[in-house]
Amino acid sequence: MDNLKGKVAIVTGSGTGVGAATALLLAEKGCHVVINYSKSEKQAKETAAACEAKGVETLLCQADVSKDDDCQRMTAQTMKKWNRIDALVNNAGITKFCNHNNLDGLSSDDFIRIYSVNVIGAYQMTRAAAPHMKKTGRAAVVNVASTAALTGIGSSIAYAASKGALVTMTLSLARVLGPEIRVNAVCPGFIQSRWLMEGFGKDNYEKIKKYHEDASPLGVTATPEIVAEAILYFISGAGITTGETLIIDGGFHLSQVPLGRR
């Protein structure tokens, strides 16, 4: 799918952060984009306007991916507008910030809520879009996971576990959706974002950011735009790659720092 002009992509959770950066990058390549949001309506409208300024069409869709009816509705609206779906980016995600040492800080409801969006939501979106994507013959699904899936660290144990499940699901879906649809995942590490700053608090955010930069061979942390470039690679390139996971963390996972003791 080298040429994205006139193609159509659904990007869940694309009002802000990585989702918004991905929608904008796809728009720059001439791809029409579905801008999905759950609560961030103002930001989603701004993202849609920025995409349209690049000469593409957008569809603004409020939907909660944890609800199957919403996933089916978003897919149906996309087909009604363009009659095709070439790419799906399962980016929508939630967490509960909870120190891993605090086992009493997470309830079963927390796990269910996080899994319902991060795992079940991605599954339901893929299931809804797959029949239409298969018709294009060369479609791509990209799941936005996290290095938390591979290291067991992150904003909470429930979040890390959900992203691990998403990586495993990527393998399963890659097997069953080929040859028409490629399914891959990106695993960003620490991302410079308002979401993490609000979750960790400004002082902790800066400390964690510096820790990651100091411990990584490249001395950097990711931005939403850097993650978006990796997502674009799996959509427009990587023509015979499926079931793969790409780590985007400046090499932090190579560090000898005892991460499990953080």
| pLDDT tens digit at each of 262 positions of the chain | 668 999 999 999 999 999 999 999 999 999 999 999 999 999 999 999 999 999 999 999 999 999 999 999 999 999 999 999 999 999 999 999 999 999 999 999 999 999 999 999 999 999 999 999 999 989 999 999 999 999 998 899 999 999 999 999 999 999 999 999 999 999 998 888 776 777 778 777 788 788 788 888 999 988 999 999 999 999 999 899 999 999 999 998 888 544 444 3
Beta-strand ranges (E) seen in 12-130 are 32-37, 58-62, 87-90
Q: Residue 203 has what pLDDT?
A: 78
pLDDT, position 260: 42
Strand pairing report for 87-90 and 245-248: unpaired
Three-state SS at 135? coil
Examine the residue annotation and report whether 159 is marked as an active-site residue of this protein: yes
Looking at the DSSP bridge assignments, the partners of residue 245 are 185
pTM over 0.85: yes
CATH class, 8-248 region: alpha beta
Cβ–Cβ < 8 Å for 118, 166: yes
What is the residue whose two structure tokens read 């005892």? 258
Contacts of 100 by beta carbon, 8 Å cutoff, 6+ apart:
153, 156, 157, 262
pLDDT at residue 192 in the model? 82
Q: Which candidate in 37, 115, 123, 159 is catalytic? A: 159
- At 1 the pLDDT is 63
pLDDT at position 261 is: 41
Torsion angle of C-alpha atoms 35, 39, 41, 43, degrees rounded to 10: -80
Q: What is the pLDDT of residue 70?
A: 98
